[in-house]
Chain A
């Protein structure tokens, strides 16, 4: 049989493995096997590609494969679970730059008479480039190498407009004119512009909106691979890239819905950039009532149902293990313990779930806002640990609030609310939270991990 046919048959097999694997990732019971299937699909695709007769020299391929695998292995096994968001961000970036390089490699060795081929290269380099630089910025923001605050400046839209126009002109030169500037210059210019676009795209977006950005960059890394598939006319790249592109877009959409904002609003308006509205909500605050961990323990001991609401603060304080211990002690004490997790809590989709899973919390006690809000009145104590905006009642009550309309976990309806918080500083979005001033709210000031540990030792005491 012709090798090309054989290779393509195997590509079909890997596509099936990707599809089934991705489907199995949809349920906790099958997810691990699904990931294994998907990775065997990848292995199959890579091995069969190595049979390609056009490959002249295997030395470089082998060297780069081994080096990359070693780096990937150490990155994946050494990373702390709290650093997972920046890990995912940087991997997205590597996928993007790889697609960019594939597109460039085909461009420098290709012919220039086919607009479809050139168009695919244009898209590959553009999407790959912006995925790379955007992911690097996201990585910087998440690991706090650069400030996580939204960075806005005057004339932003104008600069973006000019940039897009420049990219369009380069594209036209690349596809149709060819000769206004040389092909090498065109390529380099396109790469530079794509990098700038990626930077300008992520820089204005604040830390609290990072779940959306990461999901979107994930989608882009898939689309870049997909475009690369059109460059080398390869089915498996297109199928796999499109699957990732679609899944990333769906996640992006879920994140946007969880914030009641459109994608355009997240990308272009820089959250917290509405200080006037934020100031409005500070009215009628009343008094904050602090409580010591010792007194909080007495209330918790009498509680028969407890709801724990974790947020980014729990990740920062690395309090997940202490929280799990507290949860177990409460259960031993006869209380029903659940964890309510908002879809955008943390810095990436599912961030809190991963941390609690790491701390050995069973995934069937993790619930979503829609499950707990209707029964919130029956909850004796709600413990909010490092969450702020996702429990802000202004989202339901205050039309002037920038987060008005965002679905929240309505902890203020519980009988008692404990809020573990470092200080009275407002959350990431810079918005005041009336929850702290409610009559049924008690503030547990201090580091989340220390507070929870004190509660744990009181229980053990």
Chain B
């Protein structure tokens, strides 16, 4: 358990540095799509929600199912709206 936590913290730290490197150079034109695209990624909590709602305990199922609902709005809505916005960015 402890080694696993340490390993995950390791992953966390590296991911944060990676995220900083990835985003620093984004031009301001793309700030909104970047934000909504990133927001859709944060819907990854859907994975956790699916695992919770597959449980055998009723309270966990209820909470997990509600989480699946909200997270999937976040994921589907976030990606679609980003795609819609990016479709408008054109160069003539």
Q: Which A residues are closer than 8 A to B by beta carbons? A: 18-19, 21-23, 25-28, 31-32, 34-36, 38-39, 42, 45-46, 49-50, 52, 54-58, 60-61, 63-65, 67-69, 71-73, 75-77, 79, 81, 84, 87-88, 91-92, 94-95, 97-99, 101-102, 104-106, 108-109, 114, 116, 214-215, 218, 221-222, 224-226, 228-251, 254, 341, 343, 348-351, 353-354, 357-358, 360, 362-364, 366, 368
| Cβ contacts A to B, 5 pairs, < 8 Å | A45-B44, A233-B5, A254-B28, A254-B31, A363-B90
Task: Please name the residue on chain A nearest to B44 by beta carbon.
Answer: A240
In the complex, what distance in Å separates the CA atom of A235 from the CA atom of B9? 10
Tell whether, in the assembled complex, residue A247 and residue B23 are in contact, meaning their CB atoms are under 8 Å apart.
yes
Closest CB-CB distance, B38 to chain A, in whole Å? Answer: 5
Say whether, besides A76-B80, A98-B67, A222 and B31 are in contact (CB < 8 Å): no
Tell whether, in the assembled complex, residue A19 and residue B72 are in contact, meaning their CB atoms are under 8 Å apart.
no
In the complex, what distance in Å separates the CA atom of A234 from the CA atom of B78? 22
Interface of B is mostly: helix
Interface of A is mostly: helix
Tell whether, in the assembled complex, residue B40 and residue A238 are in contact, meaning their CB atoms are under 8 Å apart.
no
For this complex, into which size category does the number of interface residues on chain B fall?
Answer: 35 or more
Closest CB-CB distance, A402 to chain B, in whole Å? Answer: 24
In the complex, what distance in Å separates the CA atom of A296 from the CA atom of B29? 29
Of the candidates B4, B26, B45, B90, which one forms a contact with A25 in the assembled complex, judged by CB atoms under 8 Å apart? B26
Tell whether, in the assembled complex, residue B44 and residue A55 are in contact, meaning their CB atoms are under 8 Å apart.
no
Tell whether, in the assembled complex, residue B27 and residue A240 are in contact, meaning their CB atoms are under 8 Å apart.
no
Tell whether, in the assembled complex, residue A238 and residue B15 are in contact, meaning their CB atoms are under 8 Å apart.
yes
Closest CB-CB distance, A285 to chain B, in whole Å? Answer: 33
Across the A-B interface, the 5 shortest Cβ-Cβ residue pairs: A246-B19, A55-B54, A68-B72, A350-B31, A72-B77
Tell whether, in the assembled complex, residue A68 and residue B86 are in contact, meaning their CB atoms are under 8 Å apart.
no
Tell whether, in the assembled complex, residue A71 and residue B77 are in contact, meaning their CB atoms are under 8 Å apart.
yes
In the complex, what distance in Å separates the CA atom of A357 from the CA atom of B46? 31
In the complex, what distance in Å separates the CA atom of A103 from the CA atom of B25? 34
Task: Please name the residue on chain A nearest to B19 by beta carbon.
Answer: A246
Tell whether, in the assembled complex, residue B56 and residue A56 are in contact, meaning their CB atoms are under 8 Å apart.
yes
In the complex, what distance in Å separates the CA atom of A242 from the CA atom of B45? 12
Tell whether, in the assembled complex, residue A221 and residue B55 are in contact, meaning their CB atoms are under 8 Å apart.
no
In the complex, what distance in Å separates the CA atom of A348 from the CA atom of B92? 26
Say whether, besides A35-B79, A102-B67, A225 and B42 are in contact (CB < 8 Å): yes
Task: Please name the residue on chain B nearest to A92 by beta carbon.
Answer: B39
Task: Please name the residue on chain B nearest to A235 by beta carbon.
Answer: B11
Tell whether, in the assembled complex, residue A350 and residue B38 are in contact, meaning their CB atoms are under 8 Å apart.
no
Say whether, besides A64-B66, A98-B74, A214-B35, A354 and B88 are in contact (CB < 8 Å): yes
In the complex, what distance in Å separates the CA atom of A163 from the CA atom of B1? 33
Say whether, besides A64-B65, A72-B74, A366 and B41 are in contact (CB < 8 Å): no
Tell whether, in the assembled complex, residue B42 and residue A95 are in contact, meaning their CB atoms are under 8 Å apart.
yes
Closest CB-CB distance, A30 to chain B, in whole Å? Answer: 10
Task: Please name the residue on chain B nearest to A63 by beta carbon.
Answer: B65
Tell whether, in the assembled complex, residue B44 and residue A108 are in contact, meaning their CB atoms are under 8 Å apart.
no
Residues of A within 8 A of B46 (CB): 42, 45-46, 98
Closest CB-CB distance, A250 to chain B, in whole Å? Answer: 5
Closest CB-CB distance, B92 to chain A, in whole Å? Answer: 4
Tell whether, in the assembled complex, residue B86 and residue A31 are in contact, meaning their CB atoms are under 8 Å apart.
yes
Closest CB-CB distance, A217 to chain B, in whole Å? Answer: 9
Tell whether, in the assembled complex, residue B59 and residue A108 are in contact, meaning their CB atoms are under 8 Å apart.
yes
Apart from A69-B73, A101-B49, A102-B63: 5 A-B pairs, beta carbons within 8 A: A26-B25, A26-B27, A99-B45, A109-B59, A354-B32
Tell whether, in the assembled complex, residue A50 and residue B32 are in contact, meaning their CB atoms are under 8 Å apart.
no
Residues of A within 8 A of B4 (CB): 233
Of the candidates B27, B35, B63, B83, which one forms a contact with A101 in the assembled complex, judged by CB atoms under 8 Å apart? B63
